[in-house]
């Protein structure tokens, strides 16, 4: 009997030693709750950026339905809905809030200064008051920035010029009321355009009902291409906007690959799955006791170009071979 117990103890010990460190480090018996706040749509809940977030949590030893639960809240492109949704998560007493992008992070931070928060796709988090600095956030917020805006927008405009070398004016569609970061974004776009000697046509669309008028103005002013900012409403209505761009013969560029999937011409921006994966590691650290104030804001290191070849053909455009080779993905 003693030998049997010894053998059993040895097996158990070997099993514990073989278990991933993340699994061994989890507090026993505790079930955590994550609040997920997004400006986007519930219909995109399991697209691959969010699935990448959930996958990393699984790799770190967390099991949905057993050691953690995720409470999803989506604003469906309506920034005005975010405060109420953030308040719901606070009332649920979630252990950490994951918010994407900046408007959602601001709503969550305004709802609570005590619940830890991980923001994704943050634009100018210091300037808008989310954190004290990138190196030392200082409060209850940490996360991943969208990137260096001027560099990103400059690259987007450069890519448009490569595809449409004779472009003389680029229309920029914005929603000025979506975020305190919007003026900073627009200044970055204008600065990038000035460096390229490229005139811009600035247009606003606060509601989907403004889309037709905005495109009519683009055609009237003979815009040669279209740049869309990362606006939640534009994301939710991306299929309609992509259709309008194609019908009006406008090569288009956005920050989000989903725009290209919906029929837009190109996207260039940070890898969203990569951002979500990094956010998951922050959530893991916070649930194990780390403080957001001590976790430096991360910046993206991987950027992706996505091209819709079918849309290029519909616009009678020839994509340079160099761009086709550089693209992360080609949609046929």
Does pLDDT of 178 surpass 70?
Answer: no
pLDDT of residue 150: 56
Tell me the per-residue pLDDT of 9-28, one tens digit each, with 9 for 90 and over: 443 334 334 444 444 444 55
Residue-averaged pLDDT of the chain: 87
Q: Tell the residue number behind the tokens 């900073």, with chain if given.
A: 184
- Domain layout of the chain by residue ranges: 23-147+272-302, 149-270+304-331
For domain 23-147+272-302, the CATH superfamily is Response regulator (3.40.50.2300)
Would the pTM count as exceeding 0.85?
A: no
Query: In whole angstroms, what is the distance from residue 319 CA to residue 204 CA?
Result: 29
Quote the CA–CA distance of 204 and 173 in Å, as a whole number.
6
Q: What is the 3-state secondary structure (H, E, C) of the chain?
A: CHHHHHHHHHHHHHHHHHCCHHHHHCCCCCCEEEEEEECCCHHHCCCHHHHHHHHHHHHCCCCECCCEEEEEEECCCCHHHHHHHHHHHHHCCCCEEEEECHHHHHHHHHHCCCCCEEEEEECCCCCCCCCCCCCCCCCCEEEEECCCHHHHHHHHHHHHHHHCCCCCCEEEEECCCCCCCHHHHHHHHHHHHHHHCCCEEEEECCCHHHHHHHHHHHHHCCCCEEEECCCHHHHHCHHHHHHHHHHCCCCEEECCHHHHHCCCCEEEEECHHHHHHHHHHHHHHHHCCCCHHHCCCECCCCEEEEEEHHHHHHCCCCCCHHHHHHCCEEEC
Beta bridge partners of 267: 254, 306
Burial degree of 208 (CB within 10 A; 0-12, 13-18, 19+) = middle
- For residues 119 and 125, the answer to whether their CB atoms sit within 8 Å is yes
pLDDT at residue 273, rounded to an integer? 86
Mean pLDDT of 322-332: 92
Average pLDDT over residues 225-243: 89
**What's the pLDDT tens digit per position in 113-156?**
999 999 998 888 998 899 999 999 999 999 999 865 557 888 89
Please give the CATH topology (third level) of the domain spanning 149-270+304-331: Rossmann fold (3.40.50)
Domains 23-147+272-302 and 149-270+304-331 alike in fold? yes
Instruction: Name the most confidently modeled range: 37-41, 172-176, 263-267.
Output: 263-267
Q: What is the per-residue pLDDT across 269-305, written as a single tens digit (0 to 9) for each? A: 888 888 899 999 999 999 999 999 999 999 888 889 9
pLDDT at 90 exceeding the cut of 90: yes
Predicted local distance difference test score (pLDDT) of residue 180: 72
- Upper half-sphere CA count for residue 55 (Cβ side, 13 Å): 12
According to the 3-state scheme, what is the secondary structure of 214-233? HHHHHHHCCCCEEEECCCHH
């Amino acid at each position: 009997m003693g030998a049997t117990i010894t053998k059993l103890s040895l097996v158990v010990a070997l099993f514990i030693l073989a278990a991933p460190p993340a699994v061994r480090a989890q507090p026993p018996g505790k079930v955590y709750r994550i609040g997920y706040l997004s400006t986007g749509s519930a219909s995109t809940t399991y697209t691959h950026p969010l699935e990448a977030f959930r996958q990393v949590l699984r790799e770190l030893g967390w099991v949905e339905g057993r050691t953690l639960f995720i409470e999803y809240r989506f604003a469906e492109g309506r920034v005005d809905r975010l405060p109420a949704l953030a308040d719901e998560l606070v009332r649920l007493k979630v252990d950490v809030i994951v918010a994407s992008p900046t408007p959602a992070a601001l709503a969550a931070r305004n709802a609570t200064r005590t619940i830890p928060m991980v923001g994704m796709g943050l634009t100018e988090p210091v300037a808008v008051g989310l954190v004290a600095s990138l190196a030392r956030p200082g409060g209850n917020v940490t996360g991943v920035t969208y990137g260096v805006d001027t560099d990103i927008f400059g690259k987007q405009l450069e890519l448009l010029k490569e595809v449409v070398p004779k472009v003389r004016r680029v229309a920029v569609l914005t929603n000025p009321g979506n975020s305190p970061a919007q003026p900073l974004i627009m200044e970055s776009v204008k600065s990038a355009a000035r460096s390229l000697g490229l005139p811009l046509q600035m247009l606003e669309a606060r509601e989907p009902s403004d889309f037709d008028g905005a495109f009519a103005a683009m055609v009237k002013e003979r815009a040669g291409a279209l740049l869309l900012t990362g606006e939640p409403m534009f994301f939710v209505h991306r299929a309609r906007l992509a259709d309008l761009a194609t019908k009006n013969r406008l090569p288009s560029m956005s920050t989000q690959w989903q725009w290209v999937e919906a029929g837009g011409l190109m996207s260039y921006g940070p890898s969203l799955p990569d951002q979500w994966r990094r956010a998951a590691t922050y959530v893991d650290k916070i649930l194990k006791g780390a403080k957001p104030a001590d976790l430096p804001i991360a910046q993206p290191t991987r950027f992706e170009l996505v091209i819709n070849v079918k849309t290029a053909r519909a616009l009678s455009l020839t994509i340079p071979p160099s761009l086709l080779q550089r693209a992360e993905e080609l949609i046929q």
